[in-house]
Amino acid sequence: MKRTIKIEDPVNLMLISTLILFLVFNAFITAGTSSLQAESFPLLRRGSEGPQVEKLQSKLRGAGFKVSGEEGYYGLQTEIAVKQFQRHLDLMVDGLAGEETLSTLKSVQDDKTVPLRQVEAASWFEVNEIFDRTDVVLVTDIKSGLSLRVSRIYGTNHADVEPVKPEDAEILRQIFGGEWSWERRPVVVQIQDRLLAGSITGMPHGENVNGHITDNNFAGHFDIHFRGSRRHKDKAEDEQHQNMIEQAAEQEWPLFR
């Protein structure tokens, strides 16, 4: 004969209530633990935004890495800084700020991971020997702190370079206030393990010359001058460029690996 448990029995009702409370409490604790873990080490990537990204950017700056113009938004500048941090600490270089990157960054945030170096006013003759065609280097505008990746395509009297991708071209436009310009601006150019003083313009030109990158939304190239560089048109030094190079050479800057 089957035995039927009567719910209205006080003892049975207490047992069932206790079981339900236990299951609910266990589920709450599990969810809470996952939530805390997610809050401690979220996966941040390009396009992420909000307080967690602001915290990441603050920690990167505290460790000596430069992040400019993207407060609370994970854009190109933040990704460049994350990759530089990962490379410097021998982590997997993927530009994603996950548990390994964030936990490592947390452990070094109170220490300047990247020491500052004096920016060199290297001569164009020397730069021309180490900055080969198709090489990709990082160029950082001193006044805004914005960085972009460029590739050298040619140039004998100075370096003719192009933004690597459309996002790099957009950063160049931002550096010049949202417009293409012949204005000269001081920059730090990292080539290999050296920080070199340079000066750039922000006007695309020479779009009909062979060798251009075709998918960077940039019609032509722009110029980087170094100490002793000369203009192509008259083989003369550009005084404004040389003045900008002197300004860049007065800087101390972090060296990234």
Q: Give yes or no for residue 24 having a pLDDT over 70.
A: no
Sign of the torsion formed by the C-alpha atoms of 101, 103, 106 and 112: negative
CA 128 to the chain's CA centroid? 26
- Are domains 51-108 and 117-254 of this chain identical in fold? no
Structure tokens at 134: 């198709």
Query: In this structure, what are the phi and psi dihedrals at residue 159, rounded to the nearest 5 degrees?
Result: -90, 125
What is the predicted pLDDT for the residue at 83?
87
What is the pLDDT of the chain when averaged over all its residues?
A: 84
Q: Which whole number is the average pLDDT over 235-242?
A: 97
The CATH fold of domain 117-254: Pnp Oxidase; Chain A (2.30.110)
Can you give the pLDDT at residue 243? 98
Q: By the 8 A CB rule, do 96 and 81 touch? A: no
Find out whether 190 and 84 touch, Cβ atoms under 8 Å.
no
Using a pLDDT cut of 90, give the percent of the chain over it. 56
pLDDT average, residue stretch 16-44: 53
CA distances from 206 to 31, 64, 221 (A): 59, 37, 6
Residue 137 three-state SS: strand
Helix (H), strand (E) at residue 202: strand 194-202
State residue 7's pLDDT score. Answer: 47
Tens-digit pLDDT profile for residues 93-127: 899 999 999 988 888 755 556 777 899 999 999 99
pTM score > 0.85 for this model?
A: no
Strands (E) in 36-166, as ranges, are 116-118, 136-141, 147-154, 159-163
Q: 246 is written with which tokens?
A: 């002197």
Domain boundaries in the chain?
Answer: 51-108, 117-254
3-state secondary structure of 49: strand
- How many C-beta neighbours within 10 Å does residue 74 have? 24
Residue 170 reports pLDDT greater than 50: yes
What's the pLDDT at 116?
79
How many residues are listed for the chain in this entry?
257
Is the predicted pLDDT of residue 231 greater than 60, yes or no?
yes
**Is 1.10.101.10 the CATH classification of the domain at 51-108?**
yes
What is residue 21's predicted lDDT score, i.e. its pLDDT?
55
Q: What is the pLDDT of residue 34?
A: 38
